[in-house]
Amino acid sequence: MAVRFELLNTDPTGARTGILHTRKGSFPTPMFMPVATHAGFRHLAMEEVKETGAKILLANTYHLMLRPGPEVFERFGGIHPFMGWDGAVLTDSGGFQIFSLPEDRLITEKGAHFRSFYDNSRQLLSPESSIAMQQAINSEIMMVLDVCIDSRTDEAGTREAMERTHRWAVRSLAAKEKRATGQALFGIVQGGVHPALRDESAEFLTKLPFDGFAIGGLAVGETKVERDSMTERATASLPQDKPRYLMGVGTPTDLLEAVLRGVDMFDCIIPTKMAQQGYAYTFQGLVRITRTAYRLEDGPLDPECDCYVCKRYTRGYLQHLMRGKHHLGSRFLSVHNVRHYQKLMERIREGILRSGYAQTYRELKSAIATPKDLKDEAAATAMTLKDVG
């Protein structure tokens, strides 16, 4: 198999820890994948990302198909030498970006027809072209092209999108088999907020030879209660010996909740996008560093963090950089936030390994979330997710 999942321990809560073995190394789970949408980060060098402890990144097929294009990746031998990253890479198929496009797009059985926002050229993203592009990128893990819709869509509309996702999943598998690249392929469970459809989607996909399974169609309009419920519903129907990936979610508290429900893999743009807006995640809660209250603080951003920003710079200096709109401020906060997420996952894994995740969950949730911080986070996250595409 292109990837292999080794389960190490399942906590009494249902949280689990393991090792994901790939051709680019073996990585502990639960894991968080920083998002390098365009084969790079706005303010971070690959060396800085590596120093945070990240072992696997996410890049986006839709954006990389439009620019720089498949011929560039074929010429450079894939994304790893192109962007100077020696870890693993997972590529999203582009389904969410198609969903988030403005009116000028048409989804048919063949695929998604749209205009490039770079040069206004007509484009088609199909299951076959998505796989071909991901093979050119040469990621360790590819995703099937799915139909992503607003999670509040009625049952009839959700079923239509789900069944097309299933047909596209079969076509994606067939396209993958035409070229032996050694890459893994994950299926994506859909079904919106309709429990019976989630069950049906998982039942259909788990009969197919996928290397792992993602839970898609969440964080697109549903409530937090619905998201947690659908995540739990999906993981209950997925095999124990395959990795489970919750796509595009989310905040530190989101991760704590999803791990509790048996999820192994996560990605989200939130750590770096929130940094650009002046927000830092700490083990004392969410910090909006632009506030005047931090102007005279001479302590580190987070005394529990071991990133070079927390070792060398004060809150007062970071407040100065962000208030002055210096790019260095966004860079420093990005370094810290990405490290915070890796540190969070380390603590989560430690708790699961000793079968004490219930205590870890309570301690971390109490430490990182306060009512005021959660209000700030909800408002900032809503702004962040508007420009995910």
Q: pLDDT tens for residues 63-81?
A: 999 999 999 999 999 999 9
Q: What six digits make up the tokens of 341?
A: 């997420």
Q: Is 5 annotated as a binding residue?
A: no
Please give the Cα distance from 268 to 257 (Å, whole number). Answer: 15
What pLDDT is stored for residue 377 in this prediction? Answer: 61
Please give the Cα distance from 310 to 223 (Å, whole number). Answer: 34
Low-confidence ranges of the chain (pLDDT < 50): 373, 384-389
Residue written as token pair 């911080």: 373
Please provide the distance, in angstroms rounded to a whole number, between the alpha carbons at the two ends of the chain. 32
The class of domain 3-267 in CATH terms is alpha beta
Q: Is 187 annotated as a binding residue?
A: no
What pLDDT is stored for residue 381 in this prediction? Answer: 58
Show which residues are catalytic. 92, 267
> Which of 285, 275, 250 lies closest to 333 in space, CA to CA?
275
Q: Is 148 annotated as a binding residue?
A: no
Q: Is 268 annotated as a binding residue?
A: no
- 196's enclosing H/E stretch is helix 195-205
CB-CB contact of 49 with 56 (8 Å): no
What type of residue sits at position 152?
Answer: R
> Which of 140, 145, 52 lies closest to 96 in space, CA to CA?
145
Q: What is the percent of the chain where pLDDT is above 70?
A: 94
Domain edges within the chain: 3-267, 275-372
What pLDDT is stored for residue 376 in this prediction? Answer: 57
Please give the Cα distance from 375 to 254 (Å, whole number). Answer: 14
* Alpha-carbon torsion (55, 2, 262, 40), positive or negative: positive
Q: Is 310 annotated as a binding residue?
A: yes
Q: Is 262 annotated as a binding residue?
A: no
Q: Is 320 annotated as a binding residue?
A: no
What type of residue sits at position 5?
Answer: F
CB-CB contact of 280 with 289 (8 Å): yes
